[in-house]
Amino acid sequence: MKQRKLGSELSVSSVGLGCMGMSFAYGGQDEKDAIATLRRAVDLGVTLFDTAEVYGPFDNEILVGKALGPVRDQVVIATKFGFRIADEGTGPARMVGVDSRPEHVKAVAEASLKRLGIEVIDLYYQHRVDPTVPIEDTVGAMADLVREGKVRALGLSEAGPATIRRAHAVHPIAAVQNEYSLWSREPEDEVLPVCRELGIGLVPFSPLGRGFLTGAIRDRAALGDDDFRRGLPRFQDGNLERNLVLVDRLNGLAGGLGITAAQLALAWVLHQGDTIVPIPGARRIAHLEQNAAAAEVTLSPATLQAIAEAMPAEAIAGKRYTDAALELVGR
């Protein structure tokens, strides 16, 4: 697979793999199947694998470490800190707030290294900006980890443009992670221009609209009871039906090109710049293989224009997160 750069530090496959759904948020997956999917990704040339301590919590890092340990020298592993995780003794560990204090940054790194079974984290992200801790203090602690040889490169997730600039002034930021797809275009306003200016890679998560852009989700009944998409505004009755009209247009365009809607959506993201590396999730090997093949799809100017007309950003119905969740992004 073709390679792309994230900052000056990392060279990765042009399409990575988001591992969250294998353990968290979308209902999870049998461990044996998940490991097979992760190893097949390596066979396909995928080198960037994205996880986080909060996915589970903790379970996803353990899974990724177990699956990729035998091929450690072939992969780039990204993980994240930034949430406070608590266990009151009455149930499973859970997220209870944000925490980017320097001591927490370092403690999570040590714990993640152990769970992943690796000696260095290739890309260490702040998962969400903590408004109570100056970003300079947080990135200073992250930079200490680089100097100690425990982290190779630094990243931010869902940070605003001013925060990105302040962070980058402390230590080079290799990548900024944002939701970015045909139905989530917000990074185009400020974040993507700042990344281009500073030489920072953009890593779009949910580049397939949390699976919706594949055309496979026709109603909420297709989602499991524990699937967090049930609570997202775009999947609510009314919004979902309006968004399906747009996805059906995308399907029509894809069919005319002899590819899937997912491949068309991913190819569109890839065509937005050569420092953009999407990380679609996949729990089935067939879907993984389709996503990887999207890296070879070339879109003509006419096709890009047809996509823009079929799915204009202003036509998307519903916010991408609940109001409470949106308070944590863009800081």
Domain boundaries, the chain: 3-212+273-297
H/E segment holding residue 176: strand 173-179
**DSSP code string of 60-126:** HHHHHHHHHGGGGGG-EEEEEE-EEEE--SSSS-EEEEE---HHHHHHHHHHHHHHHT-S-EEEEEE
Would you please indicate which residues are annotated as catalytic (active-site) residues?
55
Query: Which residues are within 8 A (CB) of 169 and not within 5 positions of it... i.e. 6 or more apart?
Result: none
Proportion of the chain in helix, strand, coil states, percent, rounded to 5: 45, 15, 35
Q: What is the pLDDT of residue 93?
A: 74
Q: What is the pLDDT of residue 91?
A: 59
Q: What is the pLDDT of residue 96?
A: 85
Q: How far apart are CA 4 and CA 89, in angstroms?
A: 44
Q: What is the pLDDT of residue 2?
A: 95
Q: What is the pLDDT of residue 89?
A: 55
Q: What is the pLDDT of residue 90?
A: 54
- Give the predicted TM-score (pTM) of the model: 0.95
Q: How far apart are CA 9 and CA 171, in angstroms?
A: 12
In DSSP terms, 3 is beta-bridged to 13
Q: Which residues of the chain have pLDDT under 70?
A: 88-92
Q: How far apart are CA 235 and CA 237, in angstroms?
A: 7
Q: What is the pLDDT of residue 325?
A: 87
Q: How far apart are CA 95 and CA 54, in angstroms?
A: 7
Q: How far apart are CA 178 and CA 188, in angstroms?
A: 11
Question: Using CA atoms in the order 166, 170, 174, 177, what is the torsion angle rounded to 10 degrees?
Answer: -40
Q: How far apart are CA 284 and CA 22, in angstroms?
A: 10
3-212+273-297 to CATH, choices 3.40.50.300, 3.20.20.100, 3.30.420.340, 3.30.310.40: 3.20.20.100
Name the residue with tokens 């993640």. Answer: 112
Q: What is the pLDDT of residue 320?
A: 93
Q: Using alpha carbons, list the distances in angstroms from residue 90 to 87, 93, 166, 294.
A: 7, 9, 40, 45
